[in-house]
């Protein structure tokens, strides 16, 4: 049973279309995302779910349609404004981590805070706390190439959470993790949603991961089918 939301959505996609070459990725995709909910985007490979995620995050511009965040048209912003938005209010976990190889794992996590002007000692303290919660403090002073794939992915999750973003975008965030560590990561996402009011939008093909979400939106042939309201 769903409970109607009386608050406006934090993030919306309205009738998005996107084509790569002759291949349509999105075909009228429409979606609403609310503060404090965990939303799973599901669908077969090639259905458009990752493209939708990247459009919502302001990374890929749609050919038509509109993405709105907190009442602002994301693609009406300048490149600098979108970059600032992604740095301060959005957090990202990509499928393969995308950590900076020249930095230590601790420095990778602290990087968004340092870019936001947080002093090094405070940035490192907050980063170390998250690494401890994710049980990867032992790789804090190692570079990503010295960590396992699973450890690197947990470091990437810590980096996404460290700024306490308003929206967390995650593309197959547990793909490189065993079930125990995958559960730990999902619990952190849920905590972020419940305690800070962050919206979590994640792409997954795993039913056990989607089971943690409040809603599941199915993307198929570039269109979205989703319950209207979060539970």
Q: What is the pLDDT of residue 230?
A: 44
Ranges of the chain with pLDDT below 50: 1, 230-231
Q: What is the pLDDT of residue 2?
A: 53
Secondary element (H or E) of residue 89: none
3-state secondary structure of 172: coil
Q: What is the distance of C-alpha 189 from the center of its chain?
A: 10
Q: What is the pLDDT of residue 5?
A: 73
Farthest-apart Cα atoms in the chain, separation:
50
Q: What is the pLDDT of residue 3?
A: 62
In the chain the first and final C-alpha atoms are separated, in Å, by: 7
Q: What is the distance of C-alpha 217 from the center of its chain?
A: 15
The span from the CA of 228 to the CA of 132, in Å, is: 37
Where in the chain are the domains? 1-89+197-226
Q: Model confidence over 66-94: pLDDT tens digits? A: 999 999 999 999 999 998 898 889 999 88
Of the candidates 195, 203, 225, 201, the residue with the CA atom closest to the CA atom of residue 214: 201
List the beta bridge partners of residue 93.
170
Of the candidates 32, 36, 38, 41, the residue with the CA atom closest to the CA atom of residue 11: 32
Q: Model confidence over 103-124: pLDDT tens digits? A: 999 999 999 999 889 999 999 9
CATH 3.40.50.2000 fits 1-89+197-226, yes or no: no
Of the candidates 169, 152, 149, the residue with the CA atom closest to the CA atom of residue 33: 169
Q: What is the pLDDT of residue 70?
A: 95
């Amino acid at each position: 049973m769903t409970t109607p939301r009386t608050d406006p959505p934090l993030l919306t996609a309205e009738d998005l279309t996107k084509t790569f070459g002759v291949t349509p990725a999105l075909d009228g995709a429409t979606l609403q995302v609310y503060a404090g909910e965990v939303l799973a985007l599901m669908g077969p490979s090639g259905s458009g779910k990752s493209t939708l995620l990247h459009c919502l995050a302001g990374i890929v511009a749609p050919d038509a349609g509109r993405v709105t965040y907190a009442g602002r048209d994301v693609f009406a912003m300048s490149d600098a404004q979108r970059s600032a938005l992604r740095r301060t209010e959005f957090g990202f976990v990509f499928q393969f981590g995308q950590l900076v190889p020249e930095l230590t794992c601790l420095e990778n996590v602290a990087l968004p805070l340092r870019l936001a002007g947080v002093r090094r000692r405070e940035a490192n303290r907050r980063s170390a706390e998250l690494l401890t919660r994710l049980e990867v403090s032992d790789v804090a002073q190692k570079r990503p190439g010295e960590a396992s794939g699973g450890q690197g992915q947990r470091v990437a999750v810590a980096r996404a959470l460290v700024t306490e973003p308003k929206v967390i975008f995650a593309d197959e965030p547990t793909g490189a993790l065993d079930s125990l560590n995958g559960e730990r990561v999902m619990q952190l996402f849920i905590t972020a949603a419940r305690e800070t009011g962050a919206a979590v939008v994640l792409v997954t093909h795993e039913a056990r991961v989607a089971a943690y979400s409040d809603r599941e939106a199915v993307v198929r042939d570039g269109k979205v089918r989703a319950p209207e309201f979060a539970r």
